[in-house]
């Protein structure tokens, strides 16, 4: 191998020279930033609106600013949160136990604020746990969960809406899945004995007030602006237990509930109960 070529000293000199030369290349500035969009919220500025979002399988509620979509806070509800001690402290354990737990998880859906005279009143946020058939209440003055209730006789609370007039009042809840009654395995192979129910929870006491048996599976619900009616959309009018059986019909229906009529039936004793539950069922 030839020993001719650059010496180490010459090599280092050439390298250093190349570095200096590259440093002398003309500087090309990046394209200047475009003007901020009209809905941009600068740091330190307030959003026009603030919304409450469900966290799904995280089991929590999240507060976001709109239109910035910046996350301001996470409120633990059905989950364990080591940052705040929720699910670890004695106080939070007592609240979680009110929902029939302890459960290590939750599937948070449909957060809605309480109403007075058809307008949000800032008292409470209500949210359901579809995984474990629970409903929770969050106090808006401290943004903390203060009550959780387990809903008996049904499975998978999904759609949830507060009564709007005169106030909340009731919190209306849809139990999505049809189940056998009693659900002890005896009627597992008899789908004609499956059904679900529409439930009203007292928003002040967080106790289940009454339930109404319906046909089909319940999905979402809402309340009117008179305080007289609530309505729920349904599917699986076929009464199937397999997907191909549930979607055979082109359309299903909406169920409308007459709240004063239900209250009158309960007051008159025209109801039944299931198992150990004392909740009136119409």
The pLDDT value given to residue 242: 87
Asked whether the predicted pLDDT for residue 19 surpasses 60, the reply is no
Distance of alpha carbon 186 from its chain centroid, rounded? 33
The pLDDT value given to residue 26: 53
The pLDDT of 182-193, averaged and rounded, is: 87
The pLDDT value given to residue 30: 59
Asked whether the predicted pLDDT for residue 32 surpasses 80, the reply is no
The residue ranking higher by pLDDT, 39 or 272, is 272
> 273 falls in which pLDDT band (50, 70, 90)?
very high
The pLDDT of 252-263, averaged and rounded, is: 97
Alpha helices (H) along 51-166: 90-97
The pLDDT value given to residue 102: 78
Closest to 145 measured CA to CA, from 187, 178, 99: 99
The pLDDT value given to residue 192: 86
Q: How many CB atoms lie within 10 A of CB 149?
A: 21
The residue ranking higher by pLDDT, 44 or 117, is 117
The pLDDT value given to residue 184: 86
The residue ranking higher by pLDDT, 81 or 26, is 81
Can you read off the two tokens belonging to residue 38?
Answer: 């009209």
The whole-chain average pLDDT of the chain stands at 90
DSSP for residue 68? T
Torsion of CA 272, 278, 279, 281, to 10 degrees: -10
The pLDDT value given to residue 207: 98
Q: How far is CA 8 from CA 14, 17, 65, 146, 238, in A?
A: 10, 14, 63, 76, 87
The pLDDT value given to residue 29: 56
> 4 falls in which pLDDT band (50, 70, 90)?
low
Can you read off the two tokens belonging to residue 206?
Answer: 């967080």
The pLDDT value given to residue 278: 97
Q: What is the pLDDT of residues 81-125, one digit of tens each?
A: 999 999 999 999 999 999 887 798 999 999 999 999 999 999 999
Query: How far apart, in whole angstroms, are the C-alpha atoms of residue 59 and residue 101?
Result: 14
The residue ranking higher by pLDDT, 28 or 116, is 116
The pLDDT value given to residue 21: 45
> 149 falls in which pLDDT band (50, 70, 90)?
very high
């Amino acid at each position: 191998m030839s020993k001719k070529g650059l010496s180490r000293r010459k090599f280092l000199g050439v390298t250093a020279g190349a570095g200096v030369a590259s440093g002398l290349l003309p500087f090309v500035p990046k394209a200047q930033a475009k003007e901020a969009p009209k809905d941009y919220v600068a740091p330190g500025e307030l959003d026009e609106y603030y919304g409450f979002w469900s966290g799904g399988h995280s089991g929590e509620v999240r507060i976001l600013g709109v239109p910035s979509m910046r996350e301001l806070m996470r409120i633990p509800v059905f989950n364990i949160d080591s940052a705040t001690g929720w699910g670890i402290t004695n106080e939070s354990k007592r609240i979680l136990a009110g929902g029939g737990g302890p459960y290590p998880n939750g599937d948070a859906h449909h957060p809605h604020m309480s109403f007075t005279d058809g307008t949000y009143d800032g008292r409470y946020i209500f949210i359901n746990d579809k995984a474990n058939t629970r409903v929770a209440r969050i106090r808006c003055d401290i943004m903390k969960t203060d009550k959780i209730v387990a809903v008996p006789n049904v499975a998978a609370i999904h759609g949830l809406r507060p009564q709007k007039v005169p106030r909340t009042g009731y919190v209306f809840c849809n139990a999505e899945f049809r189940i056998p009654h009693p659900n002890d395995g005896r009627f597992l192979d008899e789908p004609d004995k499956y059904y679900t129910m529409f439930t009203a929870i007292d928003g002040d006491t967080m106790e289940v007030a009454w339930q109404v048996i319906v046909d089909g599976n319940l999905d979402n619900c809402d309340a009117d602006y008179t305080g007289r009616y609530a309505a729920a959309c349904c599917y699986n009018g076929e009464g199937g237990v397999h997907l191909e059986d549930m979607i055979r019909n082109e359309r299903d229906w909406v169920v409308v509930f007459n709240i004063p009529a239900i209250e009158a039936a309960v007051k008159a004793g025209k109801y039944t109960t299931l198992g150990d539950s004392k909740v009136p069922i119409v």
